[in-house]
Amino acid sequence: MKYVLMFIETEEFAQRLEAMGELEQQAAYAAVTQWFADHADKITHHTHLAPVHTATTMRLGQGEPVVTDGPFVEGKEVVSGFAELEVADLDEALKIARSWPACPVVEIRPAS
């Protein structure tokens, strides 16, 4: 089954990362690189998204679509990247997500 893990950054996480010294930041990024290496046999695609301020949102519905700069919602949590997995079941996806070393929230969704 395919699942997508969406890595969700909170304001607090972003502030902690920004406040880290260079060596601490390097260690944090190395942990993420190692996580991807550890699960490379299950990850079929992944990417890091550009910062939320670069987003463009299109609202569909009544009348003409409305295009605005910025994220689709004003929130304290933003999706910063994702990984697509090919695993046996949700339990395996949860096991992999549980080991994520960075953003404090991981949303898991089945993908077709």
**Per-residue model confidence (pLDDT) at position 11:** 87
**Per-residue model confidence (pLDDT) at position 109:** 95
**Per-residue model confidence (pLDDT) at position 66:** 82
Q: How many domains does the chain have?
A: 1
pLDDT at 63 over 70: yes
Q: What residues make up the domain containing 39? A: 2-111
Interacting residues of 89 by C-beta distance below 8 A, sequence separation 6+: 1
pLDDT tens readout for residues 3-58: 999 999 998 998 999 999 999 999 999 999 999 999 999 999 999 998 888 888 88
- Residue 28's identity, in one-letter code, is A
CATH number at residue 65: 3.30.70.1060
- Tell me 101's DSSP state: -
pLDDT tens readout for residues 80-99: 999 999 999 999 999 999 99
pTM attached to this predicted model: 0.84
pLDDT at 64 over 80: yes
Site of tokens 């944090």:
28
